[in-house]
Amino acid sequence: MHKTLKDFVGATHVDEIDKLAQRALKALGQCGGPSGLIANAYNRGDEEAYTEVSRAHYEASIAFVLINKHKAYPFAEEVLAGLAVQDVQTSMAGAAAAFYTGSAEAIVEAFAERCRPVCQIVGDVGVVILRGAHAAAAMKDVVPANAA
């Protein structure tokens, strides 16, 4: 993460637009990345959490794009490079950004505990730990030898 972006996210802001951008960026940070909630939900095999946290990431993306259209940030290119959403058209950008940011934060808060990191085996691809939906999918056609 670029120093300017880290400084912005960690700073205390007076401007309401900056506060909203900071909240959207924090939600994006919590959702994305290799140790974010999306990756943790996937590793746990939790389909519902994966879907909801992915939606939170998308909504936080929309919020930041809307905010950045109103007030361009020097680090925006770095943030936008990792987002699927690049442009949003609406007549009420401020209200939409506030709505999407609040929605993303609520989802992150609701799934943060459920999407805690899990132990992973890294390196040797011969060992895989399957959890949740991954385990169910892998075992769906398996018939136990001692089934009556």
146 is a domain residue: no
Radius of gyration of the chain (CA): 19
145 is a domain residue: no
148 is a domain residue: no
Domain count, the chain: 1
- Domain holding 117, by residue range, is 3-139
What is the per-residue pLDDT across 63-113, written as a single tens digit (0 to 9) for each?
A: 999 999 888 899 888 888 878 777 888 888 889 999 999 999 999 999 999
Q: How confident is the model at residue 126 (pLDDT cuts 50, 70, 90)?
A: low
125 is a domain residue: yes
Q: What is the DSSP string of 37-93?
A: HHHHHHHHT-HHHHHHHHHHHHHHHHHHHHHHHHS--TTHHHHHHT-S------S-H
Give mean pLDDT, residues 7-20: 88
67 is a domain residue: yes
30 is a domain residue: yes
Q: Chain-centre distance of CA 75, in angstroms?
A: 19
135 is a domain residue: yes
Q: Quick one: what percent of the chain has pLDDT higher than 70?
A: 91
- Average predicted confidence (pLDDT) for the chain: 87
Specify the pTM: 0.81
CA distance 63 to 147: 53
147 is a domain residue: no
